[in-house]
Amino acid sequence: MNPARSYLTFRAGPIRFLARVWLLVAIPQPLAAQSANGQVTVEVGSKTFSESVVLGELVVHLGRAAGARMNHREALGGTLVVWNALLAGDVDIYPEYTGTLKEVILRDQRPESDADIRAALATYGLRMTNSLGFSNNYELAVRPELAQRLNLRTYSDLNRHPDLRFGFSNEFIERGEGWPGLRSRYGFRHSDVRGMDHAFAYKALEAGDIDVVDLYSTDAEIEYYDLVVLEDDLRHFPRYEAVFIYRADLDERAPEVVAAIERLQGAISQEEMTQMNVRVKPQDARRRVSASRAANDFLRQRLGMDLELAESTAAERIARHTLEHLLLVAWSLAAAILVAVPLGILAAKLPAVGQVILAVTGVIQTIPSLVILVLLIGPVSYLGLRGAGSPTAIIALFLYSLLPIVRNTYSGLQGIPPPLGESAAALGLSPLARLRLVELPMAARTILAGIKTAAVINVGFATLGGFIGAGGYGQLIFRGLRTDNTGLILEGAVPAALMALAVQGLFELAERTLVSPGLRLQAGR
């Protein structure tokens, strides 16, 4: 039998092949859409540190007590991530600080007073509450033994010791009033300045890997590391009064929520906020309570509110984040298949173009994943795509999925024996018919292997979506890292590993359905 004719009988044609893979990865989306239909809620956002999450929970409790539907998109990301989510309408309200508004968000408008801040926010269709009653200022701190040995009391004292090692949060290093402004103001000559996650900086300080750390004045760690907070003797940092900023249309959509949060104005002292932070992130993990519990207890004790606390179980959290994780992987992988397979075909048919395609997709793969996420935040926000970090994460995952699928499609087509192509041409098949009926079916096994590789990579990489509030298992992992909660970390890490194994097994099973028996037998020889 002519070999080309035998391949024409294979049941895994390329159109059917791609259609089945599309259905395989895209089925979860309609389910999620149905579950979200009809849900009109007030979306509360918070940044990636415990105090912001606690303040977000206070809004959620107050809003629910007022009869509103509330949803907390906790730990969405850093300042600009949550700010962009507010502008895009992905969140309606979130806690912020006046110093951050002046020095970072509204820096170009140069507001001096709270009235200036409100006027600047109004141009964005936003409003601001009065101070909640406390400020959470930037501070520098050192270990007590180092302070005593070097007689460190003020920021200026640090200049006597240029060999000290500074460990600052990444956002602090980038902010104008952070390290750049501080260095200019005090004339610091220190060269060993490292950027690190805020939570890890405390551990590095305790271990002696760094000497000076930036912190927030209400941080729980000040108490249980017994840190010495240095005096800002040149008064560099502004005051960071805690406030809520919210979309102006909330006054019409949910006036009861606006009225409820106004009860918090001037109601929280710095000591009370610090103690809530201590409860959420205690030195003894056995005394840890959730941010929701800490907020609930404060409202009961301070405002006399008897609220029902409904905390999610581990099973509920895992189920919710599993669906989110699946959607991130499904949409990004489905889009990558539709783009990468044609690119791989083009690379195989046009060698000169193919080298460019392989080089570009290869370069994308070498860019660190967090860099891609951060670089995409601005463009995605500019396009007005909704969903906070989800579109950003999906686009990043899509880019990371291209190389394995493009390369395997290219390799699969290049590996077809020339006599088979000649036989197909002898039968009078056009180039398009040869591709559709002979070449793609023969390369199906290799192409599917590339898609499987991309899918497994996506499952792992999607956890980084928690860094920008995209949901999924990363949300649990980052929350656990933030609160030093190993249980939460495992709630995200273990299911992610199991999902990767399940995806690999699923594609092994799919190969039996999508790849012709003849090709499977041939591969097994």
Confidence at residue 514, expressed as pLDDT on a 0 to 100 scale: 67
> Tokens in use for 364?
């994308």
| pLDDT the model gives residue 11 | 39
CB atoms under 10 Å from CB of 284, counted, come to: 7
Which pLDDT value is given to residue 23? 42
Q: So what's the pLDDT on residue 508?
A: 83
**Of residues 43 and 29, more confidently modeled:** 43
Quick check: 390 pLDDT over 80? no
**Which positions ≥6 away from 171 have C-beta within 8 Å?**
78, 79, 178
- What pLDDT is recorded for position 384? 58
Residue 20 has pLDDT above 60, yes or no: no
pLDDT digits (tens, 9 = 90+) for 441-450: 888 889 999 9
% of the chain beyond a pLDDT of 70: 86
- Structurally, what CATH architecture does the domain formed by 3-29+314-351+390-524 represent? Orthogonal Bundle (1.10)
DSSP summary character for residue 155: T
Write out pLDDT tens, residues 267-323. 999 999 999 999 988 766 778 888 999 999 999 999 888 777 766 788 888 998 999
- Percent share of the chain, pLDDT over 90: 52
- Average pLDDT over every residue of 415-435: 75
Mean pLDDT over residues 1-24, rounded?
41
Element (H, E) at 54: helix 50-65
| Segment 344-363 mean pLDDT | 92
Interval 309-339: pLDDT, tens: 766 788 888 998 999 999 999 999 999 999 9
**C-alpha span between 445 and 403 (Å, rounded):** 17
pLDDT at 37 exceeding the cut of 60: no
Same fold, 3-29+314-351+390-524 and 138-226: no
Q: What is the mean pLDDT of the chain?
A: 84
Structure token digits, residue 438: 């002979």
| Block residue for tokens 């092994």 | 508
Q: Model confidence at 6, in pLDDT bands (50, 70, 90)?
A: very low
Closest C-alpha among 232, 435, 236 to residue 344: 435
pLDDT (0 to 100) of residue 18: 46
Domain boundaries in the chain?
3-29+314-351+390-524, 41-135+240-303, 138-226
pLDDT band at 433 (very low <50, low <70, confident <90, very high): confident
pLDDT at 376: 78
Q: Which CATH class, in words, describes the domain spanning 41-135+240-303?
A: alpha beta
**Percent helix / strand / coil, the chain, rounded to 5:** 65, 10, 25
Give the total residue count for the chain: 525
pLDDT at 15 over 50: no
Q: What is the pLDDT of residues 460-504, one digit of tens each?
A: 999 988 777 778 898 888 878 777 778 888 999 999 999 999 998
Average pLDDT over residues 338-343: 94
Q: Is 77 helix (H, G, I), strand (E, B) or coil?
A: strand
Least confident range from 2-6, 238-242, 435-439, 509-513: namely 2-6
Residue 102 has a pLDDT of 93
User: In this model, does residue 40 exceed pLDDT 90?
Assistant: no
The architecture CATH gives domain 138-226: 3-Layer(aba) Sandwich (3.40)
Q: How confident is the model at residue 45 (pLDDT cuts 50, 70, 90)?
A: very high
